[in-house]
Structure 1
Amino acid sequence: MPHCIIEFSDTLAPRLSPAKLVQTVYEGALKSGLFQAKDIKTRALAYDHFLTGAAPADFIHVTIRILSGRTDEQKQLLSSTVLKGLTDCNLAGISLTVEVVDIHSCSYAKFIA
């Protein structure tokens, strides 16, 4: 845990590769100090069709799903650390957002084959 899900406008690919984006978010989650490297799962989805307000504009939105029980301060640290990594990519004219969402442990199931 956590699951880091990156959604981004596909028009960003020439300026920031999806692999670099995944690595940046992974490193941000790791730098928070809240998780071990082996437990961080990161993936990215590019969107061909989107509106950000009245017109298309580049965006990156990261949803970080974690098991419930972390404090608000820990969640703030996590979101700000990941956001700092994204801002360090020096992308202009882009909306960057990060949210941390609790997973209720009673409804979470996991199986590794």
Structure 2
Amino acid sequence: MPHCVIEYSTTLGRQLSPSALVMAVHQGALDSGLFEEADIKSRAIGYDYHHNGGSSRDFVHATLKILSGRTPEQKQALSAGVLDALAGLGLKDISLTVEVVDMERECYAKRLD
């Protein structure tokens, strides 16, 4: 854990590659000190069509799905750190948002074959 799902407008490709978004979010999660690097899973989904708050401004929204049990302070620090990592990319005219979502430990299943 966590699963970092990054949604972004594909027009961002003019400013940077999706892999840069993935690496920024991944590093922000790692820098939180809450997770081992081997446990962080990051992926990106691009959207060709979007409307954002009355405009077609570019966006990046990172959802960090973590197992339940973290304090509100830990979750706030995690979201702030990932947001700072995204802001550090120097993107212009963009909406950056980060959401931390608890996953119930009792309901999470994983299998590696």
| TM-score between the two structures when normalised by the length of structure 1 | 0.97
Q: SS where residue 14 of structure 2 aligns?
A: coil
CA–CA separation in structure 2 for the residues paired with 1:23 and 1:14? 17
Partner of 1:5: 5
Task: State how far apart, in whole Å, the 1-side matches of 2:29 and 2:35 are.
Answer: 7
1:55 aligns with 55
Q: Distance in 2 between matches of 1:32 and 1:88?
A: 16
- Stretches of structure 2 that go unaligned for 5 or more consecutive residues are none
- Residue 111 of structure 2: aligned partner: 111
Task: Find the counterpart in structure 2 of residue 20 from structure 1.
Answer: 20
The 2-side partners of 1:77 and 1:60 are apart by 19
Taking structure 2 as the reference length, the TM-score comes to: 0.97
Correspondence 1:61-80 to 2 at 5 A: 61-80=61-80
Inter-partner Cα distance in structure 2 for 1:86 and 1:16: 12
Indicate the SS of the match to 2:49: coil
Q: Which letter does structure 2 place at the counterpart of 1:61?
A: H
Structure 1 stretches of 4+ with a deviation exceeding 3 A read none
Q: Which residue pairs with 2:83 in the alignment?
A: 83
- Structure 1 residue 55 displacement after superposition: 2.7
CA distance in 2 between counterparts of 1:89 and 1:23 reads 10
1:37 aligns with 2:46: no
Measured after TM superposition, the shift of residue 90 of structure 1 is 0.9
How many matched pairs? 113
Deviation of 1:57 after TM superposition, in Å, equals 1.1
Distance in 2 (alpha carbons) for counterparts of 1:77 and 1:35:
13
Identity of aligned residues (%): 55
What per-residue deviation string (whole Å, max 9, x for no partner) do you get for residues 30-84 of structure 1? 0000000100000000001111022311000000000000000000110011000
